[in-house]
A and B are shown apart, each in its own frame.
Chain A
Amino acid sequence: MVGMQRPDETQIMAYVDGELDDAAMAEIERVMEADPDFARYIRDLLDSNAALRAAFNAPMREPVPERLLAPLGAQRARPWRMPSGRRLLAMAASVAAIVVVGGGLALSTGYELPYTITANAPDAWLSSVANYYQAYARTAEGDERSLVDVNAEDVDYLENWFGQRLKRDVRLPKLENQGFKMQGGRVTFIEGQPGAQFFYKSVTGDAIVSVAIAQTKRRDTEWTTAKRNGLRMIYWRKGGYVYVFAGDVDKHVLHGVASAFPDDQRKT
């Protein structure tokens, strides 16, 4: 590695957490390409992040004890079944507004940083989706169940579960015709808004794609391709939602998966 300086630890942390702006992100990726040891260190950090989440994720799958629910006037939820003949839920729920921090954050105390950290750095969310994809893919031979909040055993329940959290009707993409089977999903934030990221594995077990859906305040955009950490991605925005596909797969495969998305949620 000639002429390149390794980023400092705070830059590295911000990269791992998807909090860098595009220029700083690209700089780190350039160093990763030139320095295999550094790239391995970043992968170790991403792995440890994934392991951390998996190690503490049990409460997301456990029933909440009655002693916590009762004072709130709630009862333990039962698995939800979609009424026959209906594909979408009609859910009337107000959307909980999420505070979107605009622009760069002023670092008034503490470190003097040579770059800008933004809570909604343009497209930093793409790296977040990519990072979690890669963490998930690396555990594919282990216990990937620990990396999702809800498993795919009951798709109806999964749709309802995520629909309640996104405050919208959720119809999970069915990708069996493309050779991919749903594995599960997790709650995430994309562009500062609540969203869900789903994982699909090929029937042959050798490929994984993820589909992320979130609310967005940004205007509709055309189908856009991107790469983060070498991972191929496609995204678009339509009607207040952003759709992101990611996969370490041939571009034709990813395009095919994205094209198979339900018509009402397709690209503009």
Chain B
Amino acid sequence: MDALFRSQLVALLPRLRRFARGLTGNADRADDLVQAACERALARMEQWTPGTRLDSWLFRIVRTIWIDDLRARKVRDRAHEREDLSDQVFDGERHIEARLTMEAVREAVSQLPEEQRETLLLIGVEGVSYKEAADILDIPIGTVMSRLARARAGLMRLMERRGRGGDDGKVVRLK
């Protein structure tokens, strides 16, 4: 059990890092979060039921630690601690336009309210089903869908606003 669990956990590390980076907007903090989640997962290994989705279980742990961390730091209402991740996404100087677009998407996502961001990341990036997202976030599936709809509308609005060159670089937090 231990060896199998660990090997499956290793295989999931890239996805956990991706989810954590989307939540935190910061590569180092994301890895801190994943590290804490792995430690908790190992400590509570017996709570996971073999045959059920390990990734969902781990996403739930990552998300719980992140929310606890936010509460502890009382940064829920502050802007994200973001960094320019563009060099980690593209090699060299190719696709500058695409890189700017990717940067704009990350910027827009970082401005979404926390509950919309985590829903959007789980479904839009991690590809989990609505039912799995509802289980991970511990909310009804209808709430998942309404948060998702608001997140996507907000994302498109922010991207359009950026496309028009608005906001003068100010961080806008959506409700």
Point out residues on A near B: beta carbons under 8 Å. 9-10, 12-14, 17, 19, 44-45, 48-49, 51-60, 62, 64-65, 67-69, 71-74, 94, 96-99, 101, 105, 107-111, 113, 117, 119, 139, 142-143, 146, 164-165, 188-189
Across the interface, A105 reaches (CB within 8 A) one of B22, B131, B155, namely: B131
* Interface residues of chain B: helix, strand, loop or mixed (majority): helix
On chain B, the residues within 8 Å of A113 by CB distance are 142
Known contacts A68-B31, A69-B13, A143-B95: A96-B54 contact under CB 8 Å: yes
Distance in angstroms from A208 CB to nearest chain B CB is 17
Question: 8 A-B contacts, Cβ less than 8 Å apart?
Answer: A17-B148, A19-B129, A55-B109, A59-B14, A59-B30, A64-B10, A74-B6, A96-B54
Q: Is the CB of B13 within 8 A of A14?
A: no
**Segment of B73-81, B83-91, B162-170 engaged in the interface with chain A:** B83-91
Q: Is the CB of A56 within 8 A of B14?
A: no
On chain A, the residues within 8 Å of B90 by CB distance are 143, 146
Interface residue? B171 (CB, 8 A): no
Nearest chain-B residue to A54 (Cβ)? B102
On chain B, the residues within 8 Å of A57 by CB distance are 18, 89, 125
Interface residue? B152 (CB, 8 A): yes
Q: Is the CB of B130 within 8 A of A117?
A: yes
Point out residues on B near A: beta carbons under 8 Å. 4, 6-11, 13-15, 17-18, 21-22, 30-31, 34-35, 38-39, 42, 50-54, 85, 88-90, 94-95, 97-99, 101-103, 105-106, 109, 120-121, 123-125, 127, 129-132, 140-143, 145-146, 148-149, 152-153, 155-156, 159
Across the interface, A94 reaches (CB within 8 A) one of B4, B17, B54, B97, namely: B4
Q: Is the CB of B121 within 8 A of A99?
A: no
On chain B, the residues within 8 Å of A101 by CB distance are 129, 131
Q: Is the CB of B31 within 8 A of A67?
A: yes
Q: Is the CB of B140 within 8 A of A65?
A: no
Q: Is the CB of A107 within 8 A of B102?
A: no
Known contacts A53-B124, A55-B102: A67-B89 contact under CB 8 Å: no
Nearest chain-B residue to A113 (Cβ)? B142
